[in-house]
Amino acid sequence: MQYGIAILPTREIQEFADSWRRRYDPYYDKIVPHLTVREREEMDESRLAEAVHQLERTVARFAPFSLLFNRVSTFYPVTNTLYLAPERPETVIELHHAVCQGPLSLESPKYVYTPHITIAQEMSPDELHDLYGRLRMMRFDLKMDVNEIHLFERAEDGRWSIRQSFALGG
């Protein structure tokens, strides 16, 4: 089964992201808006147990923290993806590096880790540039407190759900 690790934003941020994802994200109905901490991976039960132990050790070292999403950015030209970007991503990046140690280490990541909440993907270049232009002119300040991270599992129908949550600070 596939597993991934993510932070869930507040209901307000989820609703804002979903207002765009509904039309511009083909995975809208498969997973809620989220901020990926570690990309998905196939795991058997033994590896999953090691991953859970790693997550328990890691979250104990991190105090809860806050994030502010106040801008939209894009991964273009690598992918036609638009996302909400946090103003100060340093703590999320530290959390990512801590999670991706030991049994959860990534041998050769596909991309440089960039904390974000996807709001649109797999669009044509014209559609991407049009939407990006509109969203860049919007003003918003979406705040959230991060108190836990979640281990998600992917069901056979492709939908993702929370398998276990891990509170920061133990």
Q: Is 150 a catalytic residue?
A: no
Q: Which of 53, 96, 97, 116 is catalytic?
A: 116
Give the max Cα distance, the chain.
48
Q: What are phi and psi of 155, to 5 degrees?
A: -80, 170
pLDDT of residue 170: 59
Q: Which two tokens stand for residue 94?
A: 């530290």
pLDDT of residue 151: 98
Q: Is 145 helix (H, G, I), strand (E, B) or coil?
A: strand
Statement: 2-165 belongs to CATH 3.40.640.10? no
Residue boundaries of the structural domains of the chain: 2-165
Q: Is 116 a catalytic residue?
A: yes
Q: What are phi and psi of 114, to 5 degrees?
A: -130, 110
Confidence of residue 143 (pLDDT cuts 50, 70, 90): very high
Q: Look at the chain and count its residues.
A: 170
pTM for this entry? 0.94
Q: Which of 34, 53, 97, 150 is catalytic?
A: 34
* Mean predicted confidence (pLDDT) in 82-103: 96
